Structure 1
Amino acid sequence: MTDRDELAERRRKHLKLIHFNREDHTFVETEKPNVTFDDVGGLEDVKKRIRLSFILPLKQPEVFAAYGKSAGGSLLLYGPPGCGKTFLARAVAGEIEVNFMHVELQAILSMYVGESEHNLHDIFAKARENKPCVVFFDELDALGGSRHQMRAHHDRMLVNQLLLELDGLDNQSDNVFIIGATNTPWYLDTALRRPGRFNHLVFVPPPDAPERQKILELKLAGKPVDGLNLSAIADMTKHFSGADLEQVVQDAVDSAMERTFETGEIQPITQKDLLAAVKGRKPSTLEWFATARNYATFSDVNRDYQVVLDYMKKHGIK
């Protein structure tokens, strides 16, 4: 075999691998959510902001046109991890009664050069096929991070592709709406914040006391319980995220199961179990707020994150 033939064979195998990868790549499902804002407990300020900046322009474009405003741009949800950004995005799709695509990072990234950009383009193409559609990008900072801090050329190309796809959308004609979620919006590429892209920023805070009680009720539903005062537990879990509360319930379940194995009979989850679980946990959101405060105080030129500082002051977070 000549050198030219060997090179051709290597290229053929490489193309075959790429083709195999594309066929077996993570498939992004399209669904029709049956949840709306009525299913989102609390967060009234957040829902009001989303309605005004994202939903009403789609439902009543003539009103906004009278003021020189039009439907456009995309929605960026940010805040501490585990506070329900994904559920909120699904509720937005349910509120405007459109299809929903939840895109996670593994559905895009590939080990082959140029393949990630193809995957991203395919997702937008599928969204157009299923329009009207909301495309939800989880962990957007991992996909659209600042190009100035990227060393690898293919990482920068992926951000360029995302910008290209966003610029190619006309929300009024294509009916493809984009929602992103991130815990660290300050790490996003500045070009993503340009008007017409992710120019609607919405802070999703940790649940308040009534929301925490509702989350605890949902997580304990169907489990054996006895003498619970969930209102008291909700008051004790200030600043806890939904994920933190889920872990509290799991810790309490483990305690009840331990007694079950010791006695040989099913033991209920008690108030004591929950109290012990709460005492063994600290809210994971406090670390996020410490980072957000530093950025909002010293680097937030446009005061985009002043809402975070206001929230911290109101709720006594130092």
Structure 2
Amino acid sequence: MSDESPLIRSLRAAVAAAPEDVPLRLHFAELLLAEGLGDEAVTEAAVALQHAPGDAAARALMARAMGAPAAPKETPAAPAPEAPAPAPAPEAPRFDWAAAEQEVGDLVGPRFVESGTEEPLTADGSGDPGDASAWDVDAPGSVRLADVGGMREVKERLEAAFLAPMRNPELRKLYGKSLRGGLLLYGPPGCGKTFIARAVAGELGASFMSISLSDILDMYIGTSEKNVHDIFETARRQAPCVVFLDELDALGAKRSRTHHSGLRNVVNQLLTELDGINGAENEGVFVLAATNVPWDVDLALRRPGRLDRTLLVLPPDGPAREAILRYHLRERPIESVDLGKLVKATEDFSGADLAHLCETAAESALLESARTGTVRMINMKDLLGAAKQIKPSSESWFASARNVAMFANEGGMYDDLVAYLKKKRKL
């Protein structure tokens, strides 16, 4: 401004030269407030709080700038020996931050969106490791395949492998279809393999156990193999039960490449439990496994009667991307969002990429609101800008998978991957 005082002009230049100097910025805000420039004082106090969220002086200045009454100043009185002592100045009312948060509560969505489902539970480590009851088992959940957006081919394969035989016991007996089964889900990371496994358990009305390498490995000889046995014993007692083996490439790595005898023994024990020998009956125990690198899984685990069926879980298609975006934006303050346009801009994005996109767009709007002191909604500019910043995480996976599909597709093991790569003209 041309009519502002030289002091304010000098301080404005000093603050621009040292933007992180909080005391200097607060001094500048005090002068602005004294000159009647309350809006500018609020902006400077907001920026100071951005650099120092717990600064009491910045919070007090923000309260005064936003209109909270300040403490009256005492004026010196002429000395009079007979005059009584002046009464203490009344304490200034404190700015009600809780009330301010409630006032804008409808405009500002939660910083983090809670997942619609609980994370997979694992062994809590309590009790005797040899006691099968030490393993946590989730009760049948409410998640169904209908909750999985898109992925029509994945749902059809799951229906044929697990769901149709379970729903039709008479046809199952007629055709001699056993309820034993194993299915290997593979594909790029972040595409919902764990969520699909939970949805299968929900469709079956089955209990759910999620197992990873850290749940099984133990420093003592023989305990890791015993843990594998205990897991399957628990699943047999809880049948129907879905046992989900996450990151199978770590748990069931190729024994020819494994130099640690403990890991080789774990694979051997896992093969024994999948076969259900020694009187163990796996009827009603459904084994689902997930991996990003199926070519690193021991081939014995993929023989008939074990994890003999594979299912490629690809990045979400258009309808699935729309459902995922709608889910992650459902509680955030948005305006004029064209989901159709956003779906086209996120081709090949995984579910995790889409969640990251929504988070990045929210951060952009939040930061601008903090800088300007005015809360604004998340718009298409934020979302499309985030889409340009984020590169699909599946690209590196397909670069590796392409070599496997071209040179290591023995017996048509990866025919579905080859078909997809040809469809996308990546092969």
Would the TM-score normalized by the shorter structure come out above 0.5? yes
Partner of 1:143: 251
- Using the TM superposition, give the Cα deviation of residue 247 of structure 1 relative to its aligned residue in structure 2, in angstroms: 0.8
Pairing partner for 1:159 from 255, 267, 279: 267
Code of the residue aligned with 1:77 in structure 2: it is L
State the number of aligned residues.
300
Residues 266 and 122 of structure 1: is their aligned pair in 2 closer, same or farther, counting only changes over 3 Å? farther
Q: Is 1:296 aligned with 2:405?
A: yes
Partner of 1:127: 235
| 1:146–1:189 Cα contact (<8 Å) kept | yes
Q: Once the two structures are superposed, what CA deviation does each residue of 1:181-220 show, in whole Å capped at 9, x if it has no partner?
A: 1111111111101111001111111111121111111011
Matches within 5 A, 1:103-252: 103-168=211-276, 174-252=283-361
Code of the residue aligned with 1:118 in structure 2: it is K
Code of the residue aligned with 2:209 in structure 1: it is M
Q: Once the two structures are superposed, what CA deviation does each residue of 1:235-267 show, in whole Å capped at 9, x if it has no partner?
A: 011111000111111111111111121123332
Flag the structure with more relative contact order, 1 or 2, with Cα contacts below 8 A and sequence separation at least 6.
1
Q: Once the two structures are superposed, what CA deviation does each residue of 1:258-303 show, in whole Å capped at 9, x if it has no partner?
A: 1121123332211111111111111111111121111111011111
**Which protein shows a greater Rg?**
2
- Using the TM superposition, give the Cα deviation of residue 139 of structure 1 relative to its aligned residue in structure 2, in angstroms: 0.6
- Using the TM superposition, give the Cα deviation of residue 104 of structure 1 relative to its aligned residue in structure 2, in angstroms: 2.6
Q: How far, CA to CA, are the matches of 2:139 and 2:228 in structure 1?
A: 19
Pairing partner for 1:85 from 193, 197, 204: 193
- Using the TM superposition, give the Cα deviation of residue 106 of structure 1 relative to its aligned residue in structure 2, in angstroms: 2.0
Q: Is 1:286 aligned with 2:382?
A: no
Partner of 2:20: none
Pairing partner for 2:375 from 244, 261, 266: 266
- Using the TM superposition, give the Cα deviation of residue 43 of structure 1 relative to its aligned residue in structure 2, in angstroms: 1.1
- Using the TM superposition, give the Cα deviation of residue 85 of structure 1 relative to its aligned residue in structure 2, in angstroms: 0.7
**How big is the alpha-carbon RMSD for the aligned residues of Structure 1 and Structure 2?**
2.4
Q: Give secondary structure in 2 for the equivalent of 1:110.
A: coil
Unaligned runs of 5+ in 1: 1-17
Q: Give secondary structure in 2 for the equivalent of 1:192.
A: helix
- Using the TM superposition, give the Cα deviation of residue 60 of structure 1 relative to its aligned residue in structure 2, in angstroms: 3.0
Residues 276 and 173 of structure 1: is their aligned pair in 2 closer, same or farther, counting only changes over 3 Å? closer
Q: Give secondary structure in 2 for the equivalent of 1:213.
A: helix
Q: How far, CA to CA, are the matches of 1:211 and 1:222 in structure 2?
A: 19
Residues 172 and 39 of structure 1: is their aligned pair in 2 closer, same or farther, counting only changes over 3 Å? farther
- Using the TM superposition, give the Cα deviation of residue 67 of structure 1 relative to its aligned residue in structure 2, in angstroms: 4.9
- Using the TM superposition, give the Cα deviation of residue 64 of structure 1 relative to its aligned residue in structure 2, in angstroms: 5.1
Code of the residue aligned with 1:161 in structure 2: it is Q
Q: Which TM-score applies when normalising by structure 1?
A: 0.87
Pairing partner for 2:419 from 299, 310, 318: 310
Unaligned runs of 5+ in 2: 1-125
Residues 49 and 148 of structure 1: is their aligned pair in 2 closer, same or farther, counting only changes over 3 Å? same
- Using the TM superposition, give the Cα deviation of residue 46 of structure 1 relative to its aligned residue in structure 2, in angstroms: 1.1
Q: Give secondary structure in 2 for the equivalent of 1:174.
A: coil
- Using the TM superposition, give the Cα deviation of residue 52 of structure 1 relative to its aligned residue in structure 2, in angstroms: 1.1
Code of the residue aligned with 2:167 in structure 1: it is K
Q: Which TM-score applies when normalising by structure 2?
A: 0.66
- Which moves more between the two structures, 174-183 or 101-110? 101-110
Structure with higher helix content: 1
